[in-house]
Homo-oligomer: A and B are copies of this chain.
Amino acid sequence: MSQHAYEQQTPSVRAAELAQIVQGELVGNPDVVLNTLAPIEAGGQGALTFIRSQPFAKFWAESSCDAALVTRGVEISNHDPEHKALIFVDDADIAVVRILEMIDPGVATPGDGVHPSATIDPGASVDPSARIGPGCVIMRGASVGAGSVLMANVFIGGGSRIGGECLLHPGVVIGDRCVLGDRCRVFANTVIGADGFGYLPGNESRGAIKVPQIGSVEIGDDVEIGACSTIDRAKFGVTRIGNRTKIDNQVHIGHNCVIGNDVLLCGRTTLGGSATIGDRTLVGGAVVLNDQASVGKDVRIAGGSIVLDSIEDNQTVLGVPAMPSRIALANAAAQRSLAQFCRKVEKSLKKLDPDFKPPST
């Protein structure tokens, strides 16, 4: 392990070879040697960058990168084919993903089998091909599927079922009777299956009464969940996360939420109890969904928005409360000069209408 293991190095590769690997069309010097990936404005010798779409093409002339993956159809001027290489592909973003996958060092995982410091209840069922790292605890009736990896200090509660080929990072806690599908990745210290926050409010004669949260969490296949996120169990029934949904760090999902397939939830988004989100919806960072809020399919919610009630399919919304983006942007523009607007209106109306009194006077 070198002193600089944290600097990403692609294995050295000639532009011509790279064009073959990504099945692209080379324009320029085939012998440029590439050994690192970089943003177009950074880079340097040996750096490969990418040009996703036309607006980025103008940066190529001044870029110090030696080569670029370019989405076919983007027009590049000022290319120096003698010293540099362009590789045209169907989709530069996907080509970058393929290269990253190739050079990805992967996660350093524990060795085969069950680490001696792990604690597996005799009534639990762990597939022989699963790897259970140091300090993991698997309770009675729980099961872990083939090829899954529990890194270290992971806790699997009673009766929970972890599918095959899952990767649970250190400190993940799965409560009792939860279900994860196949190929899920859960990052460190995330908690799935804590009790939902359900109380009958107190009154003069007694404190709040806890509503037992006896439901569970059911997560589909190919779901990825970031670090320090929380997904609460249902009061009764199931809190459900659909297939291929991706959840960022520090997201909070309350009890009885139902989230569809292929949803993206960015960092620190909060879903109150029983909120629902339809398939393929994209939710920005630090968004709040009120209890029972209902968001349709193919919706886009901008970061920082608060959703109070319901959003129809296919809408793009933003703001507090979230509203169609056209209206929200117009209102935001008006708000930015609100004080000035009020002063001017007041001045004018005081002149025109002797009865007009602004709020502050």
Contacts and interface: CB of A to CB of B under 8 A. Distances in A.
A253 to B, nearest CB: 9
A199 B191 CA distance: 23
A105 B202 CA distance: 25
A94 interface: yes
Main secondary structure of the interface of A (DSSP, over half): loop
A30 to B, nearest CB: 24
A348 B178 CA distance: 61
A226 interface: yes
Nearest to A99: B212
A127 to B, nearest CB: 16
A288 B269 CA distance: 12
B351 A327 contact: no
Interface in A161-175: 169-171, 173, 175
Contacts of A228: 189, 191, 228-230, 250
Nearest to A248: B197
Interface in A203-231: 207-212, 214-216, 218, 222, 224, 226-230
Given A171-B153, A226-B194, A252-B249, A108 B285 contact: no
A220 to B, nearest CB: 11
A272 B5 CA distance: 25
A79 B169 CA distance: 52
B270 A268 contact: yes
B252 A267 contact: yes
Report how many copies the assembly holds.
Answer: 3
A140 interface: yes
Given A337-B359, A339-B327, A134 B137 contact: yes
Interface of A: 1, 5-8, 37-39, 42, 93-94, 96-97, 100-101, 103-105, 107-108, 115, 117, 119, 123, 133-135, 137, 139-141, 151-153, 155, 157-159, 169-171, 173, 175-179, 187-189, 191, 194-195, 197, 199-202, 207-212, 214-216, 218, 222, 224, 226-230, 232, 235-238, 243-244, 246, 248-250, 252, 254, 261-262, 264, 266-268, 270, 272, 280, 282, 285-286, 288, 290-291, 303-304, 306, 320-321, 323, 327, 330-342, 344-345, 348-349, 351-353, 355-360
Given A135-B137, A137-B153, A153-B155, 13 more contacts: A97-B211, A105-B177, A108-B176, A119-B152, A155-B188, A171-B171, A226-B230, A267-B272, A272-B285, A285-B288, A288-B303, A320-B320, A334-B338
A-B pairs, top 6 by smallest CB distance, nearest first, are A108-B158, A1-B141, A330-B339, A6-B216, A173-B188, A337-B359
